[in-house]
Amino acid sequence: MTGSLLFCCPGSPVAVEPEFSALTRLKRRGAEMGLTALLASRLERQPVAYLPKYQYIRANINRAMTELEAIKARHSVRKYTDKPIEADKVAAIRLAIESINAQSGLNIQLVLEEPNAFSSGMWKYGQFSGVRNYFVMAGPKGKEAEEKIGYYGEKLVLLAQTLGLNTCWVGLTYKKILGTFTLRDGDSVHCVIALGYGTSPGIQHPQKPVENFYEAAGTVPQWFKDGMEAALLAPTAINQQKFKFILHEGNKVETKTHFSMAGYTNIDLGIVKYHFEVAAGKENFTWM
């Protein structure tokens, strides 16, 4: 936890960081959460009384884990405890969804305390148990939207991980529960992402040699290696990893997908590209 943790009890004084201006602080906190300074400032202004048990929302903005650490800590988790997600974490996630939908044109929604998508009547879906919270990953159809679903969905997955929550992308083994989400004309539900407190942190998926996943002429820069390492840690449907990165002159990076009978390669690519960006640093390259 950073030294700037504020407070989580009613009536406690707010410890401010004297070394930072208000704007610098908001930009820094906003960047940590993948939010703009404006949205971070909205979090700052949440009244303490708004939150049950008076847990102050800034406790989460100053969370300990970075996105890169979250990439390394994240694994798919399919079994969840019945511990509810705290209101302050829900508020932070909802703000992130609002920001993502506004910039992407997607229609991502958070469904809470709804057990039927993963356990309906006599049917149990997949190896899941205890799932009652999930993101509905809705948006327009087509390749471009699918890649955005992956890219922005993984941003939410990593936010959840930094908040101490677990997740699992789910393309097949769930049921759509009508009335729990809304669709606009032309939208479809691409998949869902289970969310909550896992009974375990999950396990690392098997790793293949990184050289299988890229082409590069000449010396490979460290930022590209870092990006590839994070890309290989990304979740992909049935761990298919049907992607390739190509490093071109002028630090231009191209990506390709390979055919898969299982599908989901465009969503996978969006996920993988988000991991690559976090680890490589957006300032070091441009996408082709």
Say how far residue 116 (Cα) sits from the centre of its chain: 23
- Taking CB atoms, the residue at the shortest distance from ligand FMN is 235
* Residue 256 DSSP class: E
Cβ 178 to ligand FMN, closest distance in Å?
Answer: 20
Length of the chain: 288
Q: With contact defined as beta carbons under 8 Å apart, do 11 and 67 qualify?
A: no
Binding footprint of ligand FMN on the chain (CB under 6 A): 75-76, 78, 126, 168-173, 191, 202, 205, 235-239, 264, 267-268, 271
Rounded Cα distance between 88 and 61, Å, is: 10
Q: With contact defined as beta carbons under 8 Å apart, do 89 and 112 qualify?
A: no
* Cβ closest to ligand FMN, residue 84 vs residue 202: 202
Cβ 123 to ligand FMN, closest distance in Å?
Answer: 14
Q: Which of 241, 231, 232, 273 is nearest to 254 (CA)?
A: 273
Cβ 167 to ligand FMN, closest distance in Å?
Answer: 9
Cβ 170 to ligand FMN, closest distance in Å?
Answer: 4
Edge to edge, the sheet with strand 286-287 lists: 214-216, 243-248, 252-257, 286-287
DSSP string, 206-230: PP--GGGGEEESSPPPHHHHHHHHH
Q: With contact defined as beta carbons under 8 Å apart, do 157 and 167 qualify?
A: yes
Cβ 166 to ligand FMN, closest distance in Å?
Answer: 10
Q: Which of 172, 163, 155 is nearest to 196 (CA)?
A: 163
Rounded Cα distance between 118 and 78, Å, is: 10
Cβ 144 to ligand FMN, closest distance in Å?
Answer: 16
* Cβ closest to ligand FMN, residue 30 vs residue 150: 150
Cβ 187 to ligand FMN, closest distance in Å?
Answer: 17
Rounded Cα distance between 151 and 269, Å, is: 8
